[in-house]
C-alpha cells in the first residue's frame, strides 16, 4: 500500500539517505532540500510503503499557474513497484488543485523509467537540448578582436530572441539550467533569469546576442541561456562574457531537434564546450496542458 503525503522536516534524513544512493552520491537534492522543505511556493511530497519513506518528488512554479516538477527519486530497493508513477500522479493532482493549468519537467534521454512515467501520464515532448559544459580543463578561449560589443535594451533583447532561429529550434522554450520556460508566456522572466546580455550591431539593428547568468555561488559555472546571430561573433561574445562574469567554467543547453540544430552548438564545441553524449539532443523537455487531461486521474 503506497501512502502519499506532504514531506515534514523529520523526513529529511530518509530523503537524504535515498538521495545518497542516486548517481553515485552526486545528486543535487542535498544542496536544495532545506529550501524544498521550507519554500511556501513549493511542495515536496513523499511516498511511504509500510510506514517507510521510499520516494519523494518536488513541485515548484515556473510562472503563475505553470508548475514545474523535478527531483523524483525512489529508493533503489523499492523501484519498479509503481511508487514513482503513483507519486507523480499525486503531484500532478495536487498541482491542479493548486491552480496549475500547465505542468512541465525535463529529463535525460536515457532515463527510461522516468520517460515511461511521464509519457504514460500524458506529458508530451516539446523541445530538446544538448547539454554542454566548459570545464577548467578546456583550452583557453582564443584572443579575439572586439567586433563592437554593446548592451542591447531589454526591449531589443526580447525582439531579437522572439524571432531567433535559436528559439524556433527550441520550439519556443528557453533553458535556465535544467529548467525550461516558454518564452512567449512571459518574456520578462527571460530577462530576470538572464541578467547579463551583450550583442553586436549592424545596419542599425542587432546582429548577434548572448544572454547568460553568473553562477549562483562562487565557483559555480556561469550559465549560457542564449547565443544566436552571426557565428563569427560568438567567440568574441563569449570571451567578453567570461571576463565580465569572471566565469572560469560554463554550462549551457543548446537547442537541437534532430537535424535542426542551433548555430551555437558547433561553435561552442570549437570553443572547448563538450557534450556528455556525442552532441545529439540529450535533455528532453516535456509539457502537459491540464485541460487536455480530461478523463484521466488529474482532470
Ligand atoms: C525514475 C524513478 C523515480 C522511477 O521510480 P519507480 O518507483 O521505480 O517507478 P515505477 O515503479 O512507477 O516505474 C516506472 C516505470 O519505469 C519502468 N522501469 C523501472 N525500472 C526500470 C529499468 N531499470 N529499466 C527500464 N524500465 C524501468 C517500470 O517498468 C515502469 O514502467 P511501466 O509501468 O510502463 O512498465 C527511479 O527510477 C529513480 O529514482 N531513478 C533515479 C533518479 C531519477 O532518474 N529521477 C528522474 C530524474 S528526471
CA 175 from centre of chain: 5
At 71, list the grid cell.
Answer: 527531483
DSSP state for residue 291 in the 8-state scheme? G
- Residue whose cell numbers read 530576470: 192
Q: Give the three-state DSSP class for 89.
A: helix
Output the residue whose Cα is nearest ligand 1's atom 32.
116
Instruction: Calculate how far, in angstroms, residue 216's C-alpha sits from the geometric centre of ligand 1.
Output: 31
Question: 26, 75, 90, 113: which to mutate for ligand 1, most atoms within 8 A of CB?
Answer: 113
Protein residues with CB under 6 Å of any ligand 1 atom: 22, 55, 72-74, 79-85, 107, 111-114, 116-117, 120
Instruction: Calculate how far, in angstroms, residue 201's C-alpha sits from the geometric centre of ligand 1.
Output: 49
pLDDT at 7: 98
pLDDT at 25: 87
Output the residue whose Cα is nearest ligand 1's atom 42.
73
Instruction: Calculate how far, in angstroms, residue 255's C-alpha sits from the geometric centre of ligand 1.
Output: 26
Domains of the chain: 2-100 (3.40.630.30), 130-281 (3.40.630.30)
At 112, list the grid cell.
Answer: 527510461
Given a contact cutoff of 8 angstroms between Cβ atoms, the answer to whether 297 and 93 are in contact is yes
Per DSSP, helices labelled H in 76-121 are 83-97, 112-120
Query: Using CA atoms, how far apart are residues 115 and 106, in angstroms rounded to an integer?
Result: 10
Query: Using CA atoms, how far apart are residues 57 and 70, in angstroms rounded to an integer?
Result: 6
Of 27, 40, 42, 33, whose CA–CA distance to 9 is shortest? Answer: 33
Query: Using CA atoms, how far apart are residues 272 and 139, in angstroms rounded to an integer?
Result: 6
- Own/partner long-range contacts of 258-265 (Cβ < 8 Å, ≥24 apart): 260/169, 261/169, 262/165, 262/166, 262/169, 262/170, 262/227, 262/228, 263/165, 263/166, 263/228, 263/231, 264/166, 264/227, 264/228, 264/231, 264/234, 265/130, 265/132
Per DSSP, helices labelled H in the chain are 12-19, 29-38, 83-97, 112-120, 154-162, 165-169, 187-193, 231-244, 264-270
Please list the pLDDT of the chain residue by residue as tens digits (299 residues).
999 999 999 999 999 999 999 999 899 999 999 999 999 999 999 999 999 999 999 999 999 999 999 999 999 999 999 999 999 999 999 999 999 999 999 999 999 999 999 999 999 999 999 999 999 999 999 999 999 999 999 999 999 999 999 999 999 999 999 999 999 999 999 999 999 999 999 988 999 999 999 998 888 899 999 999 999 999 999 999 999 999 999 999 999 999 999 999 999 999 999 999 999 999 999 999 999 886 555 43
Output the residue whose Cα is nearest ligand 1's atom 15.
113
Instruction: Calculate how far, in angstroms, residue 37's C-alpha sits from the geometric centre of ligand 1.
Output: 24
Give me the residues paired with residue 212 across strands: 196, 224
Question: 49, 73, 78, 80: which to mutate for ligand 1, most atoms within 8 A of CB?
Answer: 80
Question: 79, 89, 282: which to mutate for ligand 1, most atoms within 8 A of CB?
Answer: 79
pLDDT at 295: 58
Amino acid at each position: 500500500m503506497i501512502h502519499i503525503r506532504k514531506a515534514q522536516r523529520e523526513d529529511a534524513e530518509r530523503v537524504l539517505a535515498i538521495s545518497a544512493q542516486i548517481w553515485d552520491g552526486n545528486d543535487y537534492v542535498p544542496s536544495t532540500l532545506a529550501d524544498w522543505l521550507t519554500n511556501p511556493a513549493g511542495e515536496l511530497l513523499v511516498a511511504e510503503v509500510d510506514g517507510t519513506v521510499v520516494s519523494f518528488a518536488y513541485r515548484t512554479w515556473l510562472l503563475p499557474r505553470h508548475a514545474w516538477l523535478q527531483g523524483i527519486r525512489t529508493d533503489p530497493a523499492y523501484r519498479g513497484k509503481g511508487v514513482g508513477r503513483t507519486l507523480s500522479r499525486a503531484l500532478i493532482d495536487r498541482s491542479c488543485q493548486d491552480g496549475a493549468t500547465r505542468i512541465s519537467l525535463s529529463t535525460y534521454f536515457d532515463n527510461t523509467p522516468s520517460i515511461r512515467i511521464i509519457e504514460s501520464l500524458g506529458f508530451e515532448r516539446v523541445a530538446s537540448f544538448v547539454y554542454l559544459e566548459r570545464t577548467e580543463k578546456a583550452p583557453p578561449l582564443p584572443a579575439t578582436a572586439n567586433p563592437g560589443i554593446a548592451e542591447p535594451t531589454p526591449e531589443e533583447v526580447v525582439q531579437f530572441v522572439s524571432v531567433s532561429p535559436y528559439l524556433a529550434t527550441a520550439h519556443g522554450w528557453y533553458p535556465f539550467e535544467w529548467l525550461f520556460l516558454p518564452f512567449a508566456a512571459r518574456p520578462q522572466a527571460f530577462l530576470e533569469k538572464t541578467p547579463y546580455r551583450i550583442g553586436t550591431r549592424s545596419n542599425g539593428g542587432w546582429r548577434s546576442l548572448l544572454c547568460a547568468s553568473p553562477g549562483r555561488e562562487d565557483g559555480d559555472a556561469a550559465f549560457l541561456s542564449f547565443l544566436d546571430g552571426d557565428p563569427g561573433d560568438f567567440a568574441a561574445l563569449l570571451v567578453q562574457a567570461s571576463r565580465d562574469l569572471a566565469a572560469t567554467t560554463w554550462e549551457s543547453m543548446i537547442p537541437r531537434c534532430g537535424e535542426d540544430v542551433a548555430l551555437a552548438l558547433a561553435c561552442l564545441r570549437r570553443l572547448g564546450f563538450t557534450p556528455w553524449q556525442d552532441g545529439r539532443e540529450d535533455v528532453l523537455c516535456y509539457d502537459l496542458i491540464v485541460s487536455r487531461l480530461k478523463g484521466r486521474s488529474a482532470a
